[in-house]
Amino acid sequence: MPDNRNKVLTTATVNPNVVKAEYAVRGALVLRSVQYSDRLARGDKSLSFDKVIPCNIGNPQVLKQEPIEFHRQVLALVNVPGLVDQPEVKKLFPEDAIERAKFYIDNIVGGTGAYGHSKGSACVREEVARFLQRRDNHPADPEDIYLTDGASPAVQNSLLALIRDENDAILAPIPQYPLYSAAIAINGGALVGYYLDEENAWGLDVKELARAVKEARDA
């Protein structure tokens, strides 16, 4: 056994909730797939297959799906604002990307390299609010909108705010995205799984929810 006497951080000293967390995005199966991919890249012919297809998470671009160019064009211009004033810029970027980039350059205080508002840039939150109003036909307040760098931080922050102790449970459909179970465990809560109705286009069955809640409370 390894000698952990001189180590400050071990599985015995870290937060036990971290030890409980299992995150399939970085689990044993994924590590094994990386090993296989590395062997194939080195020309190993001993395996019974010639490629590894990662299907454990929603990651379409690793499967060669092309990204939306407009987003990257705007980001490129916003991150190098001097480009928008170059005479050759219109040969490289479409007009709509240039105009959108100018808007962000003029309205994001300090540019993309500066610390911004904890809720996200006001001009972007205002855009989101207008979109929500058009989509839902209901008023949306930019001050009630929080921007995150992807869905995962939003889920993690929400669970952090919701879970007080092990008596708080979160309902999640099974099979569930591993982020949910890992974040629930790290925050000290309990995951209560329920099943969707396969025969009804994977719809939500209220009776199934009630069953899951009752079983969790009776446990």
What is the predicted pLDDT for the residue at 25? 59
Distance CA 105, CA 124 (A): 12
Residue 141: count other Cβ atoms within 10 Å of its Cβ.
Answer: 11
Q: Inter-axis angle of helices 122-136 and 95-107, to 10 degrees? A: 120
Q: Give the rounded percent of residues in the chain with a pLDDT score beyond 90.
A: 70
Residue 1 binned pLDDT confidence (cut-offs 50, 70, 90): low
Mean pLDDT of 133-140: 98
Q: Which whole-number Å values give the CA distances from 190 to 161, 167, 213, in the listed order?
A: 14, 7, 12
Task: Find the length of the chain.
Answer: 219
Mean pLDDT of 182-206: 94
What are the structural domain ranges in the chain? 1-60, 148-218
pLDDT digits (tens, 9 = 90+) for 72-127: 999 999 999 999 999 999 999 999 999 999 999 999 989 988 999 999 999 999 99
Distance CA 97, CA 78 (A): 10
Residue 180 binned pLDDT confidence (cut-offs 50, 70, 90): confident
Q: What is the pTM of this model?
A: 0.75
Task: Tell me whether strands 169-174 and 190-195 are parallel, antiparallel or unpaired.
Answer: parallel
* Averaged confidence pLDDT in the chain: 91
Q: Is residue 85 within 8 Å of residue 106, measured between CB atoms?
A: no
For residue 174, is pLDDT > 60? yes
| Maximum Cα–Cα distance across the chain | 70
Q: Is residue 160 within 8 Å of residue 152, measured between CB atoms?
A: no
DSSP assignments along 12-60, one per residue: TTS-HHHHH---GGGSHHHHHHHHHHHHHHTT---SS-S-----SS--G
